[in-house]
Amino acid sequence: MLHRYLLRPVGVFTCLLLSWSAARAQTPGAVGIGTATPHSSAALEVQSASKGLLPPRLDEAARNLIASPAPGLTIFNTTTGALNVWNGTFWQAYLAESVPAGSYAPNAYGTAAFAYTGAPQTYTVPAGISRLRVDLAGAGGNSGFGTTITAGNGGRVQAQLPVTPGEVLTIYVGGKNGYNGGAGGGGGASDIRRGGTALTNRVLVAGGGGGGSELSNNGGCGGGLTACAGGNGNGASGGGGGTQTGPGAGGTGTFAGPGQPGALGAGGAGGSGAGGGGGGYYGGGGGGSDSFIGGGGGGGSSFALASATTEVVHTQGTQVGDGYVRLSPVLPAPVLDGSNFVNVPGDNLGSHTATQNLDLGTYKLVGNGGTRGLSIGNTGVLTMGNRLDLSAYSLVGNGGTTGISISSTGAVATANKLEVGGNLDLNGNQLVGNNGSTGLSIGSGGQVLLGAGTPGTAYRATVAPAAPTENGLQVTLSGSSTAQSLKLDHNGSNLIVRPATAGGTSTVVENTAAGGSLLLNPSAGNVGIGTATAGAKLEVNGFTKLGANAPALKTLALTGTLFNGQGQTFVAHGLDESKIVSVTAMVTVGADYIPPGFTLNTGVLYGVYINNDNVVLQTGNSGNSSGVFNKTARILIMYRE
């Protein structure tokens, strides 16, 4: 039987040796998969036109159980659907973003996962973030002898934590070895501290589990407002669980003495062969000892400072092994205020049909730059300057009792109402008001002109101001609805202008046709946002966001000349370096366009990075670096708001 089990590994090893020989390239120490000539700079090169590279796939709980991960360790997190890389301090999630060579900037707005390191860690709240979603768990305790003697699992706390942008939080992640308050096999607590590193600075605590006794009694579960007590032995009791007001009591014993009580932030030591208490807001007590079977240690309690947290959920006994702390920024909803909207020239208002009343409020309908015109009272009375004076009566219809009046100077008056059985033909004249000479003209084809001139045939309605300083057309609506201020309906295409919210100051411009698009200058010209002189098809004068959860970004272009030899060139960027998210460059050498970090034969030609107030252009020391000496580098910086 032993020979059969050994035969399979030998055969597999032989196949691996054969495949290794077939896959190895000529470059010493390099392996190629899908290629016989791996690149000289690569230890492993994979080529395929139809397949990808599949890293290990773990859920977040399994990822957090990896012991002592090495910096650079990479897995695919199936819980969040993102690549995770251990950066030496915590697991960092990476998105599909273009990151310049040598500059792997973390996603400041992604979830920051802190694992056990045995030392305090820090987290700086990103700009624009005022609330964090927090998930932390204390470490489980150590088990006793045998597989049936288990330790208590660590507790879990989920909460919302109001924060200030730029604030630095101190993170303690409990260890199964007792780091952060565990005693004698008890697991350490995980906590978040603000304003200092003392126990009194804790705002959230997840309690650690109690340690199991050597022979037969389990440790108490950690977490909750009152943690679990440890299991009792023969003649010895387990340690008590920590609470919100005090530590767990030490267990009693008849042989080697009782266990020690816990304390603020620390578990108590157990008697001989008994389990120690878990760390927590208040630690669990140590188990007592007897002649054969000692008691298990009590779990440590969890805690949430009521004045600093919201939406708190406590769960007991969930975490096995080391604890964790996860911080997820809660991104604020973007605000659209319309401040960057600009008017697009050449708009054709077309022909429209009113679908609701046009309320002039206290204003008048005037023409030709006048200050007096047609006014309508809140009872429906129509007054029209001097030319048509209806001050004594109302212009009404459909059952009204008063009509149009004409003054003694020749205006027409009606006792009750004026009915027109046919068309009202102005015969080339205009409808004017307030003693003006210019007003409303109607062409023979129904074209309407407001202002001086003759109605044209190209448009159904034309507004012709008398002077360049006059405005054209104003539509004023009152009330707190989202009714349409303007609608242009042309053969199924609907251009709508309306308030974004009832009573709000933001404006929506949209094409409401099913599947319709809103096109700006599709044939010629440029579009500007925040600028009156657009120099490109689309020019945005300000920070730009591509998506609700994306940061607001700008770019800056600079140039610099690479050092004529191995050395550095400093180019001042004039920015707050803490807001720079990426920097790259391009150098032209003959017909070649060379990016930073490019390697030719024996070494890197040049690199680029940020140092305080400067962009640093660093030429390499290889024999090929001379090709870029004294060359001009075009630099591009991307920075956030």
**Most confident range, picked from 7-11, 32-36, 162-166, 560-564:** 162-166
- Is this model's pTM higher than 0.85 or not? no
243 and 290 together in one domain:
yes
pLDDT for 484: 67
Q: Is 248 domain-assigned?
A: yes
Q: Where are the beta strands (DSSP E) in 343-499?
A: 374-376, 382-384, 440-442, 448-451, 461-464, 486-490, 493-499
236 and 161 together in one domain:
yes
pLDDT band at 26 (very low <50, low <70, confident <90, very high): very low
614 and 582 together in one domain:
yes
Q: From CA 490, how far away is CA 352, in angstroms rounded? A: 9
Q: Is 379 domain-assigned?
A: no
42, 92, 101, 620 from 623: Cα distances, Å: 20, 37, 21, 9
pLDDT for 280: 97
pLDDT band at 407 (very low <50, low <70, confident <90, very high): low
74 and 213 together in one domain:
no
Q: Is 392 domain-assigned?
A: no
pLDDT for 409: 55
194 and 232 together in one domain:
yes
Average pLDDT of the chain? Answer: 80
pLDDT for 450: 73
- The whole-number average pLDDT for the span 335-351 is 54
Bigger pLDDT: 261 or 423?
A: 261
> Do residues 230 and 239 lie in contact, with contact meaning Cβ atoms separated by under 8 Å?
yes
pLDDT for 281: 98
pLDDT for 501: 82
Q: From CA 196, how far away is CA 169, in angstroms rounded? A: 9
What is the amino acid identity at position 575? L
Domain that holds residue 80: 59-107
- The whole-number average pLDDT for the span 244-261 is 90
20 and 160 together in one domain:
no
Q: Is 434 domain-assigned?
A: no
Domain boundary (281, 307, 332) is at 332
Bigger pLDDT: 290 or 186?
A: 186
pLDDT for 65: 87
Could you tell me the two tokens for 153?
A: 């699992």
Q: Is 262 domain-assigned?
A: yes
Domain boundary (283, 306, 332) is at 332
215 and 94 together in one domain:
no
49 and 183 together in one domain:
no
Which of helix, strand or coil describes residue 130?
Answer: coil
130 and 46 together in one domain:
no
pLDDT band at 396 (very low <50, low <70, confident <90, very high): low
pLDDT for 335: 60
Tell me the per-residue pLDDT of 116-132, one tens digit each, with 9 for 90 and over.
Answer: 999 999 999 999 999 99
19 and 118 together in one domain:
no
Tell me the per-residue pLDDT of 420-457, one tens digit each, with 9 for 90 and over.
Answer: 556 677 777 777 777 777 777 787 777 777 776 777 67
Q: Is 378 domain-assigned?
A: no
Which of 376-385, 405-414, 455-464 has the least mean pLDDT?
Answer: 405-414
Query: What is the percent of the chain with per-residue pLDDT over 70, rounded to a whole number?
Result: 78
Domain count, the chain: 4
Tell me the per-residue pLDDT of 210-221, one tens digit each, with 9 for 90 and over.
Answer: 998 876 678 999
Q: Residue 4: is it exposed, middle or buried by C-beta count within 10 angstroms (0-12/13-18/19+)?
A: exposed
User: Which of the 8 DSSP states describes residue 479?
Assistant: S
pLDDT for 339: 58
Tell me the per-residue pLDDT of 528-544, one tens digit each, with 9 for 90 and over.
Answer: 888 888 878 887 888 88
pLDDT band at 346 (very low <50, low <70, confident <90, very high): low
Which of 166-180, 181-195, 507-521 has the least mean pLDDT?
Answer: 507-521
Tell me the per-residue pLDDT of 2-11, one tens digit each, with 9 for 90 and over.
Answer: 333 333 333 4
Instruction: Indicate whether 232 pLDDT > 70.
Output: yes
Domain boundary (332, 364, 387) is at 332
pLDDT band at 80 (very low <50, low <70, confident <90, very high): confident
pLDDT band at 561 (very low <50, low <70, confident <90, very high): very high
> Do residues 466 and 438 lie in contact, with contact meaning Cβ atoms separated by under 8 Å?
yes
Q: Is 517 domain-assigned?
A: no
pLDDT for 149: 66
356, 406, 509 from 398: Cα distances, Å: 17, 21, 36
27 and 131 together in one domain:
no
pLDDT for 539: 78
CATH number at residue 611: 2.60.40
292 and 149 together in one domain:
yes
Bigger pLDDT: 278 or 143?
A: 278
Q: Residue 633: is it exposed, middle or buried by C-beta count within 10 angstroms (0-12/13-18/19+)?
A: buried
Q: Is 432 domain-assigned?
A: no
pLDDT for 8: 35
Sorted by sequence, the CB contacts under 8 Å of residue 616 that are 6+ apart come out as 568, 569, 570, 571, 608, 609, 610
